Structure 1
Amino acid sequence: MSRNAGHRDRGLLLIGLFKLGKAILFFLLGVGAIHLLHRDLGDEVMRLVTALKFDPESKVVALLLDKVDLIDAHRLKQISLATFAYSALALTEGVGLVLEKVWAEYLTLFLTISFLPWELYELARRPNWFRLSLLLINLAVLGYLLWLLRRKKVAAEIQVSS
């Protein structure tokens, strides 16, 4: 908990809850990938297309079916493992931030910085509002954590010198 009893950092709480939401999302994606093991993915896509009332003859559906044909059981296992690992990481970040642990602030700072080159590459390769929004959210998180950690460092230096 923070040094001031009863005072919670709303920014850390918000970022922590965001990370916990990501953990839940990626856990569910991992479960979904496992659920699709040993199933005909083309049939599953067509079921979804029909349920969402998309035109099964559209170019988008054809492209999706072509991409789905490239995914085998081994690849689905890899996808589920990666999503579970990312979910565990986001869970660790989220819990640590909600509990206002300094190690979680540094972990989140490191992970946010490490994903920025990939996000910039993806945005440059195929720009869209979703990618831009993710980049802006991560830049806001990065800026806030840098500001918070610097503020804590200055406060600690003042406390030591007094």
Structure 2
Amino acid sequence: MVSARNRKKRNRWLELIALYKLLQALLLVAVGVGALRLLGKDIGDLLQNLATGLRMNPEGHLVSFLLGKASMLDDHRLRQISVFMFCYAGLGILEGIGLMLEKIWAEYLTSIITASFLPLEVFELMHRITWFRIALFVVNLAVLAYLVGHLIRDKAAKRRHI
């Protein structure tokens, strides 16, 4: 039996990042399932009924905009959206589990994936600034900064022990 002193101390920041990635994956799965549930349905009618149920003006700018976008969603596009969401969720699950287990490959994978989306987030912020986009950018930047710093510190510590 391993004593409490000899147990490796868990990295709470990696666990927090893992939880963030797993929650992200859960949201992506929900969007993918939602897209599949819309197959074979008239999305325009669904949006029209939703707007009416929410007492929104069916002739208003927002409803008209959404109805225009909904016309581009056919069954093929909905399947594409769901496949993308499920694949991206799978990556998030892989990242989350790897980070929970404190695997170095998961830290590299998460760093690469997070860094690859930062330019898109900057572009989105330049297009339209919202509090949600700012918060998402700051969180992802903090995740990347922590992981890169952690990887550098680990590498330096291993060199000292050699």
- Fold in common (TM above 0.5): yes
Name the counterpart of 2:3. none
Name the counterpart of 2:146. 144
Q: Give ranges in structure 2 of 5+ residues lacking alignment.
A: 1-5
Rounded to whole Å, the distance in 2 between the matches of 1:155 and 1:23 is 32
1:14, distance to aligned residue in structure 2 (A): 0.3
1:46, distance to aligned residue in structure 2 (A): 2.2
3-state SS of 2:27 partner: helix
Aligned-partner residue type, residue 92 of structure 1: L
Deviations 1:73-132 (A, max 9, x none): 111111011101111010100111111111000000000111111111111112221111
Rounded to whole Å, the distance in 2 between the matches of 1:115 and 1:95 is 20
Name the counterpart of 1:158. 160
Q: What pairs with 1:58-97 in structure 2 (closer than 5 Å)? A: 58-97=60-99
Aligned-partner residue type, residue 150 of structure 2: L
Rounded to whole Å, the distance in 1 between the matches of 2:80 and 2:109 is 24
Name the counterpart of 1:106. 108
Aligned-partner residue type, residue 112 of structure 2: F
Aligned residues: 157
Aligned-partner residue type, residue 161 of structure 2: Q
Name the counterpart of 2:32. 30
Report runs of 4+ in structure 1 exceeding 4 Å deviation: none
1:53, distance to aligned residue in structure 2 (A): 3.5
Percent of aligned pairs with the same amino acid: 48
* 2:28 counterpart of 1:21: no
Name the counterpart of 2:42. 40
Rounded to whole Å, the distance in 2 between the matches of 1:51 and 1:20 is 33
Relative to the length of structure 2, the TM-score reads 0.92
